[in-house]
Structure 1
């Protein structure tokens, strides 16, 4: 049985797909990467050569996030019969291991117990445009050193148990929370101002073509132009987040574990996801990790 597969779905997000491929493709081998190519984009197919590419129609339709996670759930369920662990998430979400552990993510999953769901701590990589004037080339961490806590992205995304994953990947029907101290999920949406503008323009075009409301589309409000806000103001506001003295994530994980509970009568489980007005500077040991 193979150790680990990585699964994502993408539509034309070349910037994030390149990062995803560098991270998972180089670590796990492209033969263990599964990419749903929504719309059968030629650029996605070219970039992901050597991966397992599943092309699906790109016709506009409502409720596309519900359908997307229905598909991903079934792919994960099938792959779990051939792999000990399956990592699933959006193309701009990458799981990393703290280099202090002394090994890679592949080393971590090789030693990880099976039959469970693992939840990395979510951190959002932010582009401090007042301190980091250069655009991203290839490497992200190093040129970008600041993160903010993102409980919304503390996702149960390393799966080795027969569970259903909720839309967006935020919850599963697994009744325990395993949140190892050394694991992080880095959300890259705000890692580069120029890339952000380009990606958001494209996503706004997609939702405009669907002609669905925010409620009907069942997807994040940021996909809609009317909820987007002014881009530069979004990034300038990062400077106002309170910079913490040290990189101590223990209180955040402790809050996750203590607040873990059933999500009503849905069969899913979740933890509190408070809004934090803080930011941290990543230690230098993270440089080059993504």
Structure 2
């Protein structure tokens, strides 16, 4: 069984290193594909043995990104048994209680394609120290927010076409309760704030979309909408069980098809949970950073 992983980047560093480490362990570095949209900063990441496609540096357009990823995925399905398409801060993990790794899941749990449960890993800055890159990440982070917007179809054995943001495809969602999309955007306060400050400098082709995007909010607004709610929920004793059956049922009932043929969830669902201990070694990135 041969599987490939694909991502799309612009001036990425830490998140890209974690992505490479994770999927390189799963599939082999020779089966990783990075579309670099004209980065003007060379990443301090070892790219030896990885397939890098360098594109010209033009203003960012989410539609260009989803088109490029869809086109490459459609091509790779002719050569690979399975493909993973994700942003470089998205890490797919199969339930460690049932599967040894992602390849085991692909061989024994996947049927055509699957939609992963979206979990934003969050840094509880009042009780968790900055991340230590010599230790597995989920051994240092206890909390996550279930997010329907990050509940995405990112793994498939057949060609798919994605909407901008990779949130939806032209195939109806098939949520697998044993597949998780761990979103790293908020896994470390310092890393997240620096990345947000850098992303604010990116220029988009559509200025209206750029103005309303969360990527371009002021730093204080970014903090108040991301890290502060975590502190508030923990202070109020809000912490739900790590069970998503009710959320999955609600999302499945809400699936609709838009005018362009993309299937989407017609509701937004969230849930603040504690990450079980059995995930602690699932994202094993070791660095001297």
Taking structure 1 as reference, are residues 272 and 29 closer, same or farther at Cα in structure 2, changes over 3 Å only? same
Q: How many equivalent pairs are there?
A: 279
Taking structure 1 as reference, are residues 275 and 108 closer, same or farther at Cα in structure 2, changes over 3 Å only? closer
Q: Does 1:269 align with 2:263?
A: yes
Which residue does the alignment assign to 1:279? Answer: 272
Q: Does 1:224 align with 2:224?
A: no
The separation in 1 between residues aligned to 2:34 and 2:205, in whole angstroms, is 26
Which residue does the alignment assign to 1:289? Answer: 282
Q: CA offsets, 1:5-64, max 9 Å, x none?
A: 1000111221101110111011110011101122255633852221111111123x25x2
| 1:160 shift after superposition | 2.1
SS of match in other structure, 2:81: strand
The within-5 A match list for 1:1-290 is 2-40=1-39, 43-44=42-43, 46-59=45-58, 61=59, 64-113=61-110, 116-138=112-134, 139-175=136-172, 177-207=173-203, 210=204, 212-215=206-209, 217=210, 221-226=213-218, 229=221, 231=223, 234-241=226-233, 243-263=238-258, 265-276=259-270, 278-290=271-283
Taking structure 1 as reference, are residues 243 and 100 closer, same or farther at Cα in structure 2, changes over 3 Å only? farther
Aligned partners of 1:221 and 1:227 also within 8 Å: no
The separation in 2 between residues aligned to 1:120 and 1:11, in whole angstroms, is 24
**Structure 1 length normalisation: TM-score?**
0.87
Taking structure 1 as reference, are residues 160 and 11 closer, same or farther at Cα in structure 2, changes over 3 Å only? same
Aligned partners of 2:9 and 2:36 also within 8 Å: yes
Taking structure 1 as reference, are residues 88 and 258 closer, same or farther at Cα in structure 2, changes over 3 Å only? same
| 1:246 shift after superposition | 2.5
The root-mean-square deviation of aligned C-alpha atoms, in Å, is 2.3
Unaligned residue ranges in structure 2 (runs of 5+): 284-289
Aligned partners of 1:135 and 1:194 also within 8 Å: no
The separation in 2 between residues aligned to 1:30 and 1:41, in whole angstroms, is 23
SS of match in other structure, 2:175: coil
SS of match in other structure, 1:141: helix
The separation in 1 between residues aligned to 2:142 and 2:81, in whole angstroms, is 33
Unaligned residue ranges in structure 1 (runs of 5+): none
The separation in 2 between residues aligned to 1:3 and 1:230, in whole angstroms, is 40
| 1:171 shift after superposition | 1.1
Aligned partners of 1:36 and 1:54 also within 8 Å: yes
SS of match in other structure, 1:120: strand
